[in-house]
Structure formats: structure tokens, C-alpha cells
Structure 1
């Protein structure tokens, strides 16, 4: 397997915590971890297998009016890049209690952008075991990636990551 590029943002929070967990479980010899704040898209296109991690803090924080999020700066740079032939898996963090109407919406937004790059998105997840009202990341009866709620379901994160890795890693050969 070629090295996997894991790209996440923001730093110093739950997204970084989950990114480090994913990297640890995959193994340092198979993955390189990058914060989107510190790179350009030419780094992303170097990888055949890509994992993207993003958070949704609520509609008021992920809207285009907010320019403080690392992804708000990086996402526009992804428009027009060519990821044909590459596999992309996405994980997203959200709060299913306070933001049940926007649960992991940013993961859905990221999925839409990645879809325009020609990449193959892998790692969709059933909604079984999740409680939420609405989500832009819930498409055709599944989440477009791995939803994580570190605020209220931290005890489920490791098992959810393990199960997700069983889905994506065989496809990243």
C-alpha cells in the first residue's frame, strides 16, 4: 500500500485528536498527517489514498461568512484540482445534541467539493446508532464518511474508527 495522506483541520481540538487516533491505528509507516492550514493542494495530489477530517461546530461557524476555520481557507483551493483515480475517505466531527439539524454538515460540504475533483469517495457509514434530525452528510441513506461526536459520544469514537478503517483500508491498496 502506498502512503496515505491524512489532512485535517482545525488544530488543537477534537478533529486533531481523531486524526491522531486514525494515524496511530493505521501506523506511522503507512500514513503522513498534515494540517490543511499548513499546506497547499499540491501536497494533496501527491497521494493516491487520502483521508480528510473536518468539524462542524454549527451552522453559524461553518458558513462562508466565517473565515476563521482552516478549511474555510483551504476548501476554495480544492476547486479545480484533479484527483481522478484517487481514493478519498472523509471523517467529520459534530455535536448531535446541540446541532441535531446540522449534524456533521461540514463533512457533506467537503464531500461535495471532493466529488468535483474526480476522486472516488469511499467509507460511507450507516446511520445505525446515530441520532440526528438532518445532515448534509447524509446522502442516499448513508453518511458520506465517518461521523464522530466527541462531545457526547466520546466513548464510541475508538470503536467507530476501528469499524471505519475495516471499510476503507482494503479499498486503499
Structure 2
């Protein structure tokens, strides 16, 4: 598909709201409406060569899902459906939510789980984000001093969300659109 697919997991609705902001910033010419991962299929996700995937953080860096207290199915229930899927040629950018004050010792660590799943299936992961401007003790979601995707703190730094989204999207959108151009 020539548009960017946006998929998210959510429990409280915060990740859904960020996915909607991303869609609004990209516009319908570049992206399809965001889809909750618990209301989609692998076939639908695979229609896209360029994806933006979002996750909240749960547990101690666990994928969100029923086992860690989510009210509905989430990434933990979707990921096993990808077991035999080859994602070579797909470009994927990630965003994750976390609370750096309350969960300083595991800030946004669930993002690494999502990264490992899609990277492990051959996807080209783009969109790393600086750790500057955050106050936390530890996060599993860091490689080479950068988060593996955009990290947002909707509780501690909501005033920075829009600016961070705009800067991040200015970087990842050309990379994602290049994937679509190569596929067509």
C-alpha cells in the first residue's frame, strides 16, 4: 500500500490519542486512519510497506496485554500471530508512552519488546529518538544512547508532545515514504 499504516495498542486510550495526532499531522494523503492492534489482522498490517507502531508501557518492560493487567487484548496477544511472518522490506517507526517520574527505573521499556519483535522478523527499524530532555534512571528501550523510537510522557511532559511529534515525523516520514516508493 502506498500510505503509511498506523497501528497502536492501548489500555487507557492515551496511545490511541497520540496515534490520532500522528494521523492528523501526516494527513489522509500520506497515512490511513490509525487502527487498534486488537481490532486488526496480520493480513491488514502486512498490506503496508511503511508502518508507525505505538505502545504504552506495562509491567517491567513487558508487552502490554491481558497477562499484565490490560482490560483488552493488546500487543502481547497480537505478536504471536507474527511467528512465521517475514517483514523484510518493511520500514517501521515506533513510538511509546511512559511515565518517567513514576516508573523511572523502567521508563518506556515496553518499546524495546516491540522493537525486538519487528526487527527480529526482518523489518528495517527507523526513527530513533534522543534521550535528552527526560529524567529517568533506566530504560530497556535504548540502543547507542538513543531510544529505539519516539518516547512521550503524557503525564509528566504533555506540553512537549506536539513539538516532539512534529520533529520526529519530519525525520521519519521521508524514510517511510521512501519505503512506499521502493515497493511501487
- TM band (smaller chain): over 0.9
The answer to whether residue 145 in structure 2 is matched with residue 141 in structure 1 is yes
The answer to whether residue 2 in structure 2 is matched with residue 2 in structure 1 is yes
Q: Secondary structure at the match of 1:130?
A: coil
64-73 or 150-159, which deviates more: 64-73
1:73-88 pair list within 5 angstroms: 73-88=77-92
Residue aligning to 1:51: 52
Alpha-carbon distance change, 77 to 94 in structure 1, aligned in 2, over 3 angstroms: same
Residue 17 of structure 1 and its aligned partner are, at CA, apart by 0.8
Q: Secondary structure at the match of 1:101?
A: helix
Alpha carbons 1:79, 1:113 under 8 Å: kept = no
The answer to whether residue 124 in structure 2 is matched with residue 123 in structure 1 is no
Alpha-carbon distance change, 125 to 61 in structure 1, aligned in 2, over 3 angstroms: closer
Unaligned runs of 5+ in 2: 178-184
CA distance in 2: counterparts of 1:118 and 1:91, whole angstroms: 19
Alpha carbons 2:94, 2:150 under 8 Å: kept = yes
Unaligned runs of 5+ in 1: none
CA RMSD of aligned residues (A): 1.9
Residue 79 of structure 1 and its aligned partner are, at CA, apart by 2.7
32-41 or 155-164, which deviates more: 32-41
Residue 57 of structure 1 and its aligned partner are, at CA, apart by 3.6
Count of aligned positions: 173
TM-score in terms of structure 2 length = 0.87
CA distance in 1: counterparts of 2:126 and 2:39, whole angstroms: 25
| Runs ≥4 residues deviating over 4 A | 60-64
Residue 12 of structure 1 and its aligned partner are, at CA, apart by 5.1
CA distance in 2: counterparts of 1:60 and 1:31, whole angstroms: 29
Residue 140 of structure 1 and its aligned partner are, at CA, apart by 1.6
- Among 53, 72, 75, the alignment partner of 1:71 is 75
